[in-house]
Amino acid sequence: MLAYIIRRLFYAIPILIGVNLLTFMLFFVVNSPDDMAVSQLGQKYVTPEAVQAWKRKNGYDLPLFYNAQEPGAAALTDTIFFTKSLKLFAFDFGRSESGRDITTDVSTRMWPSLAVALPTFVVGIWVNICVALMVVMFHATRLDRWAVFVFVGLMSISYLFYIIGGQYLVAKTWKLVPISGFNGEIQPWKFLLLPVLVGVIAGIGAGARWYRTLFLEESSQDYVRTARAKGASEIRILFRHILPNALIPILTGVVVVIPTLFMGGLLIESFFGIPGLGSYMLDAINAQDFAIVRAMVFIGSILYIVGLILTDISYTWADPRLRLD
């Protein structure tokens, strides 16, 4: 088990290097620092001097891979690749193009993100499983067919409409909770209630439908027939036999997401004005702040890989047939 985890961590290294190279290619080779400077400065103010000044200010005035002017090791370290890409491995994210320290920003902003994403995630799964179980109990009846139709309908609505609709209905017409904003001091749950609610409802269609399929797949297995032959009731079969077995496929889809909850949701945070990493990314995209985007790509990849490892570990917990080695 431990050997397995260590091995997986070793596998993570080439993947992170790949991510790093890919982002480096995207940001510095496909698109040269000069192009970036021009688009940041705006067409009107482009002079060679201004471009140079911008590059110097943001640390882009170095060669890409090899600095021939510097002696010794500095020839390799005084390069864009080293300062902008390799330093990510040391969790040194540098400064954003507006001059703020990215590491500080990230560490303060991840908590509001988590405050929204975690309850959405937990409540969402719980609600989806409950709804799916209820539908499965009525399998092959009219109710089941309509439920599936409703699920597909819910899935077909853009996430944007859930947010807009939720904001409008709950906050504006019913005047229950603040429409947006985040304030840690005064009853934070009030601000969280709406985004969590919207997040959960938006996920029901796809989630419940998927779980329903998983449960139905399990319910056609042989061991379910055995349980019936024992004299177990349908409810008992559903909860004691089908649910534990269906957990295994559910885990694949779910556990991998857990670490990325830190990243928050782009849309929900920007709509509800939550100062998390999601809105941080969105602002960075809109401001074309590539330093932040680069850092977030790296963080996201690490969290995803952690998620993959967690998935494997959770498998062994849910499925006694599996052993990692």
The amino acid present at 216, given as its one-letter code, is L
Q: How many CB atoms lie within 10 A of CB 13?
A: 11
Query: Could you tell me the CA-to-CA distances from 150 to 110, 157, 164, 205 in Å, in that order?
Result: 35, 11, 20, 7
User: Cβ of residue 55: shortest distance to another protein, in angstroms?
Assistant: 15
User: Cβ of residue 122: shortest distance to another protein, in angstroms?
Assistant: 21
Question: Which C-beta is closer to another protein: that of 43 or that of 69?
Answer: 43
Chain positions 273 to 292 lying near another protein, rule: CB under 8 A, are: 281-282, 285-286, 288, 290
Chain positions 120 to 179 lying near another protein, rule: CB under 8 A, are: 140, 148-149, 152-153, 155-161, 164, 167-168, 172
User: Cβ of residue 321: shortest distance to another protein, in angstroms?
Assistant: 5
With H, G, I as helix, E, B as strand and everything else as coil, classify residue 139.
coil
- Identify the residue whose tokens are 């047939």: 321
Tokens of 253: 């889809």
The answer to whether 73 contacts another protein (rule: CB under 8 A) is no
The answer to whether 305 contacts another protein (rule: CB under 8 A) is yes
Chain mean position to CA 154: 22
Tokens of 267: 């849309």
Question: Which C-beta is closer to another protein: that of 101 or that of 217?
Answer: 217
User: Cβ of residue 92: shortest distance to another protein, in angstroms?
Assistant: 19
Chain positions 83 to 102 lying near another protein, rule: CB under 8 A, are: none
Question: Residue 197 — φ and ψ, nearest 5°?
Answer: -60, -50
According to CB under 8 A, which one of 85, 96, 301, 314 is a site residue for another protein? Answer: 301
Decide: 267 and 159 in contact? Cβ < 8 Å: yes
Instruction: Give dist(CA 223, CA 65) in Å, integer.
Output: 60
According to CB under 8 A, which one of 74, 138, 225, 252 is a site residue for another protein? Answer: 225
Instruction: Please work out the total of residues on this chain that contact another protein, with binding judged by CB under 8 A.
Output: 79
The answer to whether 316 contacts another protein (rule: CB under 8 A) is no
Instruction: Give dist(CA 78, CA 70) in Å, integer.
Output: 8
Binding flags for another protein, 35-54, as an x/- string (CB under 8 A): xx-xx---x-----------
